[in-house]
Structure 1
């Protein structure tokens, strides 16, 4: 009985420890900074500024489910938001068509990444780093190394409202993130497609013996990642309202920190959408509190780097613990 209680307590701590840490950090910062932190303005800031890193973290999560890594997402984000600005500002496209084109283009890039990884038999680290570098080159070619700045009339108000508007008193990007996280959770946890993706990530050889088309599902994962990157690029263009060719790389490390740290929450030992959402939340609360305490600029990369190392270590421990407990790290088909 005692061992069972300990096991249940350990499971609860592993699954919901990050949620508890989020609450604890919020309490500590609220007591330390009572005039600035526990305010609606701070909540609005967290929900809006962290929406793009959250979407990109979800984009990184899907290939990780299959055991692959998409290092091109930062470069893809930079290219996507520059392409939106190029089509709207310089080519005069209607903004809905420009946004749709960029999102679909992101999906096409994701398919190409998956094809290179699976059919070219190139490690995902190397393949996506190579395609990402090529996307960065295309971004520089489009912008000629400069920025795309709207004319005196600015961007269409309906386009900037994609990021700046509110719904139910909260920033609308937060609802985009929530909707995407719920959709991914449903796919990964409740549909056969998600179970197949987890099997591919757990043991590709076993998946192949079971008749699961490994290559096809890996391409699906990269395509989903590309679509999400394209959507994040649309949000970034609406937020920045200029085309900056170098801005996307700043989001690469936070995205992987969120995705890897998320694999230690909700479903410890495997990447999952809700865990990623929790991880992004705890990172956002921590960074916001540190920023309001007047920390220097270098504390942000230090925080992300240390958290990444911690996330990888915890994810590995959670996966090994799950395996020792007799529960497979993925769902069976």
Structure 2
């Protein structure tokens, strides 16, 4: 009998197809950013591709970017911190309260607020892990408490500086420039690189990923899952405190309800970022790319004169897309790992029994 024809899908073709799919998953969001920039530049040639637009985008999206990085760290461990919006509101109000009402020097006010963010983040982690409460419920509860403290500090109103205004050195934290670009963009870049180094290059980051992917396996190999989850929430609180300082320097007024506006964009950036650079898992550089996509899209939509309701529509739709893509990337990653194991598993030995009951190589 003639040999059967080779399969139409050869291993080399499968390999090339898988490699192409991996490239699309890894760099697809980055390509989408460039495509959106090109489209809006063609549609709005006089206003979009300008230095002013780039500067305003880098400045305006710096706080959402920092908050998205803050949301990313607990997600690495499989938890969600819904208190980050409330924490942002409390942090920026406390900065304004200490500088305006208590007459503190602004460096001390900023340091105390950032340290307070660390404490609040650690408490969130303790409530989640040692209180055995789901992270959604726990952080929603602590967020409500932070919102109450914000209202108590402000009395339900706004904190407005006196005629002398805020110290120039404090407002320069947001308004100054470095190498011709807004300095908040360099804050975001530095934080993203630092977080990438911790998550991708240090044992701490590898442990966090293990805790998030398989807590039981982490326990079996001796990783203290509770402690590392608390570490993740603590890092999130640190970033939220820093974002609150930036928000106070930007707005120069204490608004008790402003932090909630940043909650949805932060999670959109964090979840969408898990589909880029390292598809299938949250990562700092992916979050940065996702924030860039959102920034370009929102800037273009705004310059086209869209109504105010298009912004939450854009964020909500992108969030659904992000969750769907994140789930798809995770399934693809698991499938690829399974296929790799199957490829390295040797085929079973042929049975020594002949079909007619004799032994192979022995006449019946």
TM-score (norm 1): 0.98
Matched, 1:19 2:30: yes
2:88 to 55, 73, 77: 77
Corresponding position of 2:359: none
Aligned partners of 1:107 and 1:281: how far apart in 2? 27
Corresponding position of 1:178: 189
Corresponding position of 2:244: 233
Pairwise CA RMSD of aligned residues?
Answer: 0.8
Aligned partners of 2:153 and 2:166: how far apart in 1? 19
Report matched runs for 1:94-109 at 5 Å: 94-109=105-120
Aligned partners of 1:11 and 1:45: how far apart in 2? 33
Shift of 1:68: 0.2
Shift of 1:327: 7.2
Shift of 1:2: 1.4
Task: Give 3-state SS (helix, strand or coil) of 1:201's partner.
Answer: helix
For 1:224-279, what per-residue CA distance to the aligned partner results, in whole angstroms no more than 9, with x for missing partners?
00000000000000000000000000000000000000000000000000000000
Task: Give 3-state SS (helix, strand or coil) of 2:337's partner.
Answer: coil
Aligned partners of 1:147 and 1:286: how far apart in 2? 31
Corresponding position of 2:148: 137
Shift of 1:198: 0.1
Aligned partners of 1:171 and 1:12: how far apart in 2? 32
Report matched runs for 1:228-267 at 5 Å: 228-267=239-278
Q: Which has the larger radius of gyration?
A: 2
1:221 to 222, 226, 232: 232
Aligned partners of 1:283 and 1:195: how far apart in 2? 28
2:198 to 183, 187, 190: 187
Point out which structure has higher relative CO (alpha carbons under 8 A, 6+ apart): 1
Q: Structure 1: which 5+ runs fail to align?
A: 329-333
Residues 327/72 of structure 1: CA separation in 2 closer, same or farther (3 Å cut): farther
Q: Structure 2: which 5+ runs fail to align?
A: 1-11, 340-364
After the TM superposition, list the runs of 4 or more consecutive aligned residues in structure 1 that deviate by more than 4 angstroms.
none
TM-score (norm 2): 0.90
Corresponding position of 1:276: 287
Corresponding position of 1:67: 78
